[in-house]
Amino acid sequence: MKTTVSLVLALLAVAGARAEVVVRPEPIQPIEAAKPADPRKVELGKKLFFETRLSKSGFLSCNSCHNLSAGGTDNLPSSIGHKWNLGPINAPTVLNARFNLAQFWDGRAKDLTDQAGGPIANPGEMGSNHELAVEVLTTIPQYVTWFEEIYGKNPVSIEQVKDSIAAFEETLVTPDSRFDRWLKGDDAAITEAERKGYQVFKETGCIACHNGPAVGGNSFQKFGLVKAYEKDTTTVGRMGVTKNEADRFVFKVPTLRNIELTYPYFHDGSVWTLEEAVTVMSVHQFGKPIKPEDTALIVAFLKTLTGKQPDFPIPTLPPSTATTPRPSAL
Amino acid sequence: MKTTVSLVLALLAVAGARAEVVVRPEPIQPIEAAKPADPRKVELGKKLFFETRLSKSGFLSCNSCHNLSAGGTDNLPSSIGHKWNLGPINAPTVLNARFNLAQFWDGRAKDLTDQAGGPIANPGEMGSNHELAVEVLTTIPQYVTWFEEIYGKNPVSIEQVKDSIAAFEETLVTPDSRFDRWLKGDDAAITEAERKGYQVFKETGCIACHNGPAVGGNSFQKFGLVKAYEKDTTTVGRMGVTKNEADRFVFKVPTLRNIELTYPYFHDGSVWTLEEAVTVMSVHQFGKPIKPEDTALIVAFLKTLTGKQPDFPIPTLPPSTATTPRPSAL
């Protein structure tokens, strides 16, 4: 008996050692699968993410502009909001947003929880307000039950709404890209051209800002560092938050994870192809043109960063009741 | 050997007989689970149903107004379309729409295939046109591959688009409601009040139009049969199709399946509660008030008609390419 147990333990140890993955020592790290602390909270947050009744019109949800069927964004230059308002800036993807050092292009929200309340109450986005959003949820018994199960018998609050949406968004990571499989030692996961593209990506200098697990998202940098960006000279970026002139045209570096899916590019959504985006970056950040063959290699590498997309059943939302405030398109 | 085979066959016969469900002989029949003939076509249609690029703005999809998280409708009096256009009529649910004798409130589309092309090209709905929609899909290699796998090596056409969306919609049925379990012999599936509500539903006359598997959808009837409906006197309904004065205010009878989820009610979406809807129907169709206790019983019955909601992973859409026509919000 004792011998059998020892043998089993020894076999498990071997299996464990073999399962351990040695990650290549690169400035980009693999995305790991989400391990949610509270699956009930994630489930509630998922419903709220798809909840059109958080908008004044009853028509728009988080998923309208951060479409989880389309790379976590809307693939529009800028988002369409309440009464067809066209937003001032391109919607960043929600995928892997948990890795961002702050949220929004100008980093004005310190984390996902802080961000989640913004669009609900923005007149040009979901057009509602926090009181109305909470009132809507409070009149739907199933929501009240779910909030109670998670947050105890307190009244539903906007803090709980933000907390649960953020908990869901924490799970929106995209592991298992071909590049990550390569990082974890699978030489065959990317082609020779793609590997060479990664080399060019590093040597050209892109890696200076686009690094870490999200290949970006972890610093603020000036757009037009060497050569001023002339297409949009009114969006000041980080300066709007810090009031510091040095932060004019400084933006959070966007993630390059799933970049193939999250066109159009830049804060103004002005560029639709990766080839053009790479060219613009080279000119404006490094002050030099890039050779077309290098662009092609970098683009080939970038397309290896597409990971496993969100994969869960579409949520079913509980019905309104007679006391639920009615939507207004006006 | 022969004896064993006979025994097995005999056992199978017994099992088969026991598994056969005897359905109560009622004017409403249970919804059966979908049995798609071509799962690949359904999968393609599902992607197209969520495909915002079928709209001019790149922002609206079939699911925007037929939200599968919300009973297959948008829970708005009338839908919001391109440039925030407010539609002229309430969006009917897509759930169990396969049972309708024709599509749209006025039945102007003969089936789901015929319907699917309408909203894409309606300037106040998705705002695109069939040529543009097909061009978008043709520039996305993954779509071209999927269409080829299903329809052979023909150019992508709007007929294929409509055919695959309809094939997906054919699967959007909601079996296993409590009422259906009762129909199949489970006495405990509904309460005594709900069963009594069904009895009142029949005796009051509702069953005359709301019958069959979809509890409606199988006939055209005049809204305001006994007492004219005064809230909306401009929407003529079926007369717009037949040009026959007798069809003024005649509409397709809506399904009552999942009616708890598909508020607001009637073609004008003017009523938000089932209690009020039942009251209005009694007055306008039968010319008599209904006792509040009967209304309560009927509403209790109606809530047993909520079936299994759509349950599939959110689709992932393939990215556009450099040649894909770009969306326009204008």
Q: Do B319 and A52 touch (CB under 8 A)?
A: no
CA distance, residue B11 to nearest chain A CA (Å): 38
Chain A partners within 8 Å of B261 (Cβ): 319
Kindly identify which residue of chain A lies nearest to residue B74, measuring between CA atoms. Answer: A59
Q: Of the candidates A219, A210, A177, A328, which has an alpha carbon nearest to the alpha carbon of residue A277?
A: A210
Q: Per the structure block, which two tokens stand in for A102? A: 């702050």
Length of chain B: 330
> Hey, which residues of A are catalytic here?
125
Catalytic residue among B43, B51, B125, B194: B125
Kindly identify which residue of chain B lies nearest to residue A64, measuring between CA atoms. Answer: B59
Q: How far apart are alpha carbons A163 and A112 in whole angstroms? A: 8
Tally A–B CB contacts below 8 A.
Answer: 99
Q: Do A74 and B59 touch (CB under 8 A)?
A: yes
pLDDT of residue B19: 54
pLDDT of residue B7: 52
What is A39-170's CATH number, 3.40.50.80, 1.10.760.10, 3.40.50.720, 3.50.50.60? Answer: 1.10.760.10
- Taking all residues of chain A, what is their mean pLDDT, rounded to a whole number? 94
**Arithmetic mean of pLDDT, A316-324:** 98
Q: Say which residues have a Cβ less than 8 Å from residue A214's Cβ, sequence separation at least 6.
A: A31, A96, A99, A100, A255, A256, A257
Tens digits of residue pLDDT in B76-119: 999 999 999 999 999 999 999 999 999 999 999 999 999 999 99
B293 catalytically annotated: no
Q: Do A52 and B59 touch (CB under 8 A)?
A: no
Letter for the amino acid at B75?
Answer: N
Kindly identify which residue of chain A lies nearest to residue B321, measuring between CA atoms. Answer: A273
Tens digits of residue pLDDT in B130-144: 999 999 999 999 999
* DSSP bridge partners of A222: A250
Longest dimension (CA), chain B: 76
> What band does B22 get if pLDDT is binned at 50, 70 and 90?
confident
Q: Do B327 and A260 touch (CB under 8 A)?
A: no
CA distance, residue A68 to nearest chain B CA (Å): 8
**Arithmetic mean of pLDDT, A214-233:** 96
Chain A residue set in contact with B, beta carbons under 8 Å: 50, 52-53, 57-59, 64, 67-71, 74-76, 80, 83-84, 86, 260-261, 263, 272-273, 275, 309-317, 319-320, 322, 326-327, 329
Chain B partners within 8 Å of A314 (Cβ): 68-69, 310-314
More confident residue, B3 or A284: A284
Q: How far apart are alpha carbons B169 and B313 in whole angstroms? A: 16
Task: Transcribe A78-119 into DSSP letters.
Answer: S-B-GGGPBPSSPPPP-TTGGGSSSBSTT--BSSHHHHHHHH
* Residue from the list A260, A311, A320 with its beta carbon closest to the beta carbon of B75: A320
pLDDT of residue B181: 98
Q: Per the structure block, which two tokens stand in for B227? A: 């007492």
Phi, psi of A60 (to 5 degrees): -110, 140
Please check the confidence at residue B1 and state whether its pLDDT lies above 50: no
Q: What is the DSSP secondary structure assignment for residue B212, as one 8-state letter?
A: T
Chain A partners within 8 Å of B80 (Cβ): 57, 59, 329
CA distance, residue A324 to nearest chain B CA (Å): 10
Q: What percent of chain B has pLDDT over 70?
A: 94
Phi, psi of B114 (to 5 degrees): -65, -35
This complex has an ipTM of 0.93
Please check the confidence at residue A198 and state whether its pLDDT lies above 80: yes
Q: Per the structure block, which two tokens stand in for A196? A: 């060479």
* Residue from the list B313, B316, B317 with its beta carbon closest to the beta carbon of A313: B313
Chain B partners within 8 Å of A316 (Cβ): 69, 309-311
pLDDT of residue A3: 53
pLDDT of residue A231: 93
Q: How many CA atoms lie within 13 A of B217 on its CB side?
A: 23
> What band does A6 get if pLDDT is binned at 50, 70 and 90?
low
Q: What percent of chain A has pLDDT over 70?
A: 94
Distances (CA, A) of A207 to A186, B157, B272, B294: 22, 44, 56, 71
CA distance, residue B223 to nearest chain A CA (Å): 24
Phi, psi of B292 (to 5 degrees): -55, -35
Q: Do A50 and B64 touch (CB under 8 A)?
A: no
Tens digits of residue pLDDT in B135-192: 999 999 999 999 999 999 999 999 999 999 999 999 999 999 999 999 999 999 999 9
**B292: how many CB neighbours lie within 10 A of its CB?**
11
The model's pTM is: 0.93
> What band does B314 get if pLDDT is binned at 50, 70 and 90?
very high
Chain B partners within 8 Å of A75 (Cβ): 52-53, 58, 320, 327
CA distance, residue A317 to nearest chain B CA (Å): 6
Tens digits of residue pLDDT in A61-85: 999 999 999 999 999 999 999 999 9
Helices of type H across B88-129: 112-121
The architecture (CATH level 2) of A178-305 comes to Orthogonal Bundle (1.10)
Length of chain A: 330
Letter for the amino acid at A134?
Answer: V
pLDDT of residue A1: 45
Task: Pinpoint the residues of chain B covered by CATH 1.10.760.10.
Answer: 39-170, 178-305
Describe the crossing of helices B141-151 and B158-170 by its angle, rounded to 10 degrees: 80
Q: How far apart are alpha carbons A78 and A91 in whole angstroms? A: 6
> What band does A22 get if pLDDT is binned at 50, 70 and 90?
confident
pLDDT of residue B244: 97
